[in-house]
Amino acid sequence: MRVLLLFAVYYGCAGYALLNPFFGVLFFAHITIFRPESLVWEELLFGRLHLITALATVVGYLIQRTGPARHGAHQRFNAIVFAVFVGWLWVVSLNSNVSVDVSVERTLYITKILVFCILLNLTMTSPYRIRRYVLVSSASFGLVSLWAALQGLAGNWRLEDVWLGGSNGLAAALALMIPFTLSAALDPTFPRWQRIGFGTCIPTMIVCMMYTNSRGGFVGFVTGVLGLVLLARQKGRLLVIVLTVMLLVYPLIPADYSERLATIAQEDEDTDLSAAGRPVLWRLAFRMWQDQPFLGVGLGNFSLVVDSYEGKARDLVTSREMARVIFGNRREPHSLYLGMLAESGAIGLGLFLVLLLRNMFWRLGSDENALGLVGKGAQAGVLGFSVAALFGDFQYIDMVYWQLFLIGAIASSAEVAHGTPRPGPLALSAGAKTESQ
pLDDT tens string 391-422: 999 999 999 999 999 999 988 876 655 554 44
Measured at the CA of 377, the angle between CA 374 and CA 381, to 5 degrees, comes to 145
Cα distance between residue 196 and residue 319, in whole Å: 54
Q: Is residue 42 part of a domain?
A: yes
Q: Please state the φ and ψ torsions of residue 87, each to the nearest 5 degrees.
A: -60, -40
Determine the average pLDDT of the residues in 139-153. Answer: 89
pLDDT higher than 70, residue 138: yes
Q: Is residue 24 part of a domain?
A: yes
Cα distance between residue 124 and residue 301, in whole Å: 36
- pTM for the whole thing? 0.89
Q: Is residue 22 part of a domain?
A: yes
pLDDT higher than 70, residue 209: yes
Q: Is residue 8 part of a domain?
A: yes
Mean pLDDT of the chain: 85
At 278 the pLDDT is 85
Give the pLDDT band (50/70/90) at residue 8. Answer: confident
354: Cα within 13 Å, side-chain hemisphere: 16
Instruction: Give the residue with greater pLDDT, 41 vs 338.
Output: 338
The total domain count for the chain is 1
Q: Is residue 341 part of a domain?
A: no
Region of poorest pLDDT, from 46-55, 124-133, 401-410: 46-55
Q: Is residue 25 part of a domain?
A: yes
At 14 the pLDDT is 92
| Cα-Cα-Cα-Cα dihedral sign, residues 333, 339, 341, 345 | positive
Q: Please state the φ and ψ torsions of residue 133, each to the nearest 5 degrees.
A: -65, -45
Region of poorest pLDDT, from 70-79, 88-97, 134-143, 372-381: 70-79
Q: How far is CA 252 from CA 248, 286, 370, in A?
A: 8, 40, 36
Question: Are the C-beta atoms of 296 and 344 separated by less than 8 Å?
Answer: yes
Question: Are the C-beta atoms of 40 and 3 separated by less than 8 Å?
Answer: yes
Per DSSP, the three-state class of 52 is: helix
Instruction: Give the residue with greater pLDDT, 430 vs 342.
Output: 342
Q: Is residue 204 part of a domain?
A: no
At 288 the pLDDT is 94
Cα distance between residue 140 and residue 146, in whole Å: 10
Provide the 8-state DSSP code for 423: -
Q: Tell me the one-letter amino acid at 381.
A: G
Determine the average pLDDT of the residues in 324-351. Answer: 92
At 69 the pLDDT is 58
Q: How far is CA 107 from CA 56, 90, 298, in A?
A: 23, 6, 10
Region of poorest pLDDT, from 5-14, 40-49, 293-302, 416-425: 416-425
Q: Is residue 46 part of a domain?
A: yes
At 379 the pLDDT is 96
Which residues span the domain enclosing 45? Answer: 1-67
At 40 the pLDDT is 61
Give the contacts of 162 (CB within 8 A, at least 6 positions apart).
Answer: 38, 144, 147, 148, 151, 156, 170
| Cα-Cα-Cα-Cα dihedral sign, residues 244, 145, 30, 117 | positive
